[in-house]
Structure 1
Amino acid sequence: MDLYFVRHGKTEWNLEGKYQGSHGDSPLLPESIHDIGLLAKRLKNIPIRHAYSSPILRARRTAEILLEDLGKKIPLTEVDGLKEFDLGDMEGKKFVDLEARIPDVIHAFRQEPAKYDATKIHGESFESVIKRSNDAINRIVAKTDPDASILLVSHGAALVAMIQALLGTKIADLRKNGGLSNSSLTHLKYENGKYSLVKWNETKFLNKKLESTDTI
């Protein structure tokens, strides 16, 4: 089975450097519509059986636009387990402001997840995100034909945690491959009860130089 994970298109808050979790949201930028079209061209020859999306608007709209651009009748199902982290008090706040106010929390979240204490910002832990997302993906895989290709549209921080956990990576090492960019594609295979990585954070098809606000 082939699993294609997509991070949603870039949003206004992404551009402004604001934290955007499960309780925050902002519209996709016009440039994202273009990028999603390029992603569709990258995926056009892949026989996607079913698409799954976080119910949060930025992810759902990315999935809807992508499927429209593919021009195929691919069913789309919203899955709560694919939501972004609940970022509590960090929602809607600028990166630079929080780095000055709670540097230990931000450093842990971005660089050393094993040291991240979500209770300090009334948010969600890595363990919680990994459990709900991996449970959801394993349920999807269990009901899908073993030779199928599926699409999963979610969010930057949640995707890093869920994908690395599927690969057996410990929480301390979740950041070992870096982050994921807006409209990026990450490809996993599932075979004989095991997930393996084919490609992490593919962005070449976007034909542009990425900015610091594109990746988390």
Structure 2
Amino acid sequence: MSVKKIYLIRHGQTDFNVRGIVQGSGVDSSLNEAGRRQAARFFAAYRHVPFDKVYTSVLQRTHQSVQGFLELGLPHEQHAGLNEISWGTREGTRITPEEDEEYHRVLQDWKAGRTHVRMEGGESPDDVAVRQRPVIELLTSRPEEETVLVCMHGRAMRVLLCQLLGYPLSQMDSFEHHNLCLYQLDYTGSLFTVRSFLDTRHLQEAV
């Protein structure tokens, strides 16, 4: 039985990450210098992997994070289904103590299983899960793509991992993430398993 290998990464660092500004799906920020170094380190460590396809969100920070692979001429598809969760009216703003209170209240709702709750004008984890499902269908229905690289965003990655591994969305914070971290998964045709969890060894020299 052939096993599909999925390399799942979060995009590299942006200035918004450093400054504590909410990005989400509505802010199309670019990588900063540190993020570009992270992308270069990941490319150096994994350029030998025979990827059949690169999948990204439609946001430029994911494209920039896999630029080295795209320059090799690898097939690339971008899907809005892989975009970050929308944080609604919070996007593009710095987190304040007052907003922190609202934000953490929403996070507590999610942990309690109320994953239909959303920030004002934004998406809920349930909403994100729905728009990810067509992409999951693509990933699981293309046996000719034996090894794929997927670059996306932190909160959306947590939702995706819950869906792939059969966890309730209330458990999504179990999947930690850092800029340009790697999860490696195997797919047997019926089951996803994690081969590598939150791997950042490739970033040891990317300060």
Q: Give the alignment's TM-score, normalised by structure 1.
A: 0.85
Alignment pair present for 1:183 and 2:180: yes
SS of residue paired to 2:12: coil
Point out where structure 1 has 5 or more consecutive residues left out of the alignment: 211-216
Q: Measure how far apart 1:172 and its partner are.
A: 1.6
> Aligned residue for 1:153?
151
> Aligned residue for 1:138?
137
- The alignment of Structure 1 onto Structure 2 pairs a total of residues equal to 203
Alignment pair present for 1:105 and 2:102: no
Q: CA RMSD in A?
A: 2.2
Alignment pair present for 1:60 and 2:63: yes
Matched letter for residue 14 of structure 2: T
Aligned mates of 1:152, 1:188 — CA distance in 2: 11
Distance 1:52-1:103 versus aligned 2 partners, 3 A rule: closer
Counterpart pick for 1:10 among 10, 13, 18: 13
Point out where structure 2 has 5 or more consecutive residues left out of the alignment: none
> Aligned residue for 1:123?
122
- CA deviation string 1:73-100 (max 9, x = no partner): 2111111211111110121222344214
> Aligned residue for 1:38?
41
Runs of 4+ in 1 over 6 A off after TM superposition: none
Matched letter for residue 126 of structure 2: E
SS of residue paired to 2:150: strand
Aligned mates of 1:12, 1:138 — CA distance in 2: 33
Matched letter for residue 140 of structure 1: L
Q: Measure how far apart 1:108 and its partner are.
A: 4.2
Q: Give the alignment's TM-score, normalised by structure 2.
A: 0.88
Give the % identical residues.
Answer: 23
Aligned mates of 1:77, 1:156 — CA distance in 2: 19
SS of residue paired to 2:155: helix
Aligned mates of 1:67, 1:123 — CA distance in 2: 31
Within a 5 Å distance, the mapping from 1:192-207 to structure 2 comes to 192-207=189-204
Alignment pair present for 1:170 and 2:168: yes
